[in-house]
Amino acid sequence: MSVAFEDLRLPRDLRLSEWQRTVVTALRARLVRQIEDELRSGVAGALEGTGNEALHAALSSAHVVIAGPILDECGAPSDPGLTSAILRRAEEHRLFRAGGGDHAFLLELAGDADEEVASGAMALLIAQSSRFDPFQDPIMARTELSAHTHHFLVWTIAAALRRYMIEQHGLDSSTADEALAGAAAELLTDYDEGETVEALSVRLAWRLRDTGRLDDEMVARTLLDGSLPLFLAALAMRSGFDVAATWEIASEPSGRGIALLLRVAGIARDAAGTILFRIEEDEVRLAGKIDLFDLTDEQEAGRQLRLWRIDPAYRAAIARLAA
């Protein structure tokens, strides 16, 4: 348990490598702008013909950035789920590139004889293929966020737009609130948490498990071919943790978490070594993870990871008090 508590003392933003900071910053900025643009489109439509031509023009202009600078200026509070989701997307992109960047494993499963496996793999393949820009840089849609984080981000950006509309264009607050509430409601109602990449991955992993195919080799292949969402779902099935907890453990900065998680999941040494080799780029840290896996039995690993079987709100509260 001491490992978990020591890790929770450090805010995640302070543990990122320079590469992670660059990718995470870019992903966050693009995600904010995407939601901002969708909100602005709805608000501009609501204000059209109301005599607020200057504001309508600003909202409709692709060259006017509004929400991002306001959020930077006021230091708007961040949702821990947002940071975790963006960091997971950045790590997914790193592993995808390391795996060849061709979705070979999902393409193979999309041709599977089992109809549910094939359709699940195809749905996941389509979803993951849409998460790149024309230059093959990673993008992240708001619909990939959890329901809580999605609501948090939409309303936070709406509040930033409200400030701009009132302070810069003199719009009365009731008009601004009505227009923003309507635009935000449209964004929130077209969101389906059951169609996120994570949800699609979980359904595919369930089917693989139900057909007796979620063995060590299958778990390792999901990661070797760079499908982090499917790897996390598969490892969650094998370990009994939920996907969010699986990611928290696998990504904790000391590197101990993933080794203990593989032991809890009952992954054999050869497959565990393959997985650890793909995840860890530093040879010294890799050796330490393999040693930990070898020296820790499943019962002890489960004891050290017990915190992640408790309600996530409890873990979040511990992290807040320890920060």
Q: Residue 109 half-sphere exposure, CB side, CA atoms within 13 Å? A: 27
Q: How far apart are CA 151 and CA 7, in angstroms?
A: 28
pLDDT at 11: 43
| Angle CA 105–107–109, to nearest 5 | 70
pLDDT at 77: 61
Q: Where are the domains of the chain?
A: 15-83+137-193
Q: What's the mean pLDDT when you consider all of the chain? A: 87
At how many degrees (to 10) do helices 269-279 and 256-264 cross? 150
Residue-wise pLDDT for 95-147, tens only, equals 888 877 788 899 999 999 999 999 999 999 998 888 888 888 888 888 888 88
Residue-wise pLDDT for 232-259, tens only, equals 999 999 999 999 999 989 988 788 999 9
Do the Cβ atoms of 54 and 164 come closer than 8 Å? no
Residue-wise pLDDT for 50-72, tens only, equals 888 999 999 999 888 899 899 88
Any long-range contacts for 128-131 (C-beta under 8 Å, 24+ apart)? 128/103, 128/197, 128/227, 128/229, 129/103, 131/89, 131/197
